[in-house]
Amino acid sequence: MARFSVQKYPSIIVKGKSVQDYSLHSSSQLLLFKDWVVVPNNPTIQLSILEKHHDSPLAGHPGQEKTLKLVKKDFHWSGMTQFIKDHVSSCQQCSRSKNIHRKNFGLLKPLPIPNCPWICLSMDFITQWPLSNYFDSILVIVNRFSKMAVFIPTMPSITLLDLAQLFIKNIFSKHGLPSSIVSDRGPLFFFFLLDQSLSAAQDFKRSFNCLPSRN
């Protein structure tokens, strides 16, 4: 083994490693770090090494840890671990043939068809509209029986409690309480808040009616 000039190989010296651990192979003139061949910071060269140790039929497309272990036997370069992990995780053949460690997804089931209006509703938001009267979103409530839709101006920062109050004002006061609501914002929690809001409204009405009349 022969020592090398640091000035000759400044760009491929791995940061944080002792210069004393580097040497030149006497016959091949390859730069070594201890017993490993130092690979230049060249993605083409690094990729060719991975093609041999991972992509080839003889390699058999091993996983990240095994590929890293195979490459580490002979080679060394800065950022090698992340480079290998990125390459293996983006391998198309691996993604097609890897084992699936989960249960199969269930079949999609259509929503039941309502038999009368305003008992089964769906709710969603249309957002990122131009600001108008402090509103930039629309709450859309659809009667699934007739497909009639109600459009309520609102904001994306609306809370579930605010949503329940909007529902009482625009839907419940006119059509009563539905039996089901399809929503991606937690329908069970929404029904709980709706019940709380209705109870509060009933308590307020009861208290108001119990006030003594003034002559």
pLDDT of residue 104: 74
Tell me: pLDDT of 204 over 50. Answer: no
The 8 Å CB, 24+ separation contacts for 111-116 are: 111/144, 111/182, 114/144, 114/145, 115/145, 116/145
Give yes or no: residues 10 and 71 share one domain: yes
Q: Is residue 27 part of a domain?
A: yes
pLDDT in tens, 147-188: 999 999 998 788 777 888 888 899 989 998 888 888 776 555
Q: Is residue 105 part of a domain?
A: no
Q: Is residue 33 part of a domain?
A: yes
| CATH code (residue 130) | 3.30.420.10
pLDDT of residue 169: 92
Q: Is residue 70 part of a domain?
A: yes
Q: Is residue 82 part of a domain?
A: yes
The total number of structural domains that make up the chain? 2
Give yes or no: residues 129 and 73 share one domain: no
Give yes or no: residues 163 and 204 share one domain: yes
Contact 12, 41 (CB under 8 A): yes
Q: Is residue 38 part of a domain?
A: yes
CA angle 140, 180, 158 (to 5 degrees): 40
Distance CA 76, CA 121 (A): 62
Query: Whole-structure pTM over 0.85, yes or no?
Result: no
Which residue is listed with tokens 């490993």? 36
Give yes or no: residues 93 and 124 share one domain: no
Domain range for 147: 120-209
| CATH code (residue 16) | 1.10.340.70
Please report which confidence band the pLDDT of residue 35 belongs to, taking 50, 70 and 90 as the band edges. Answer: confident
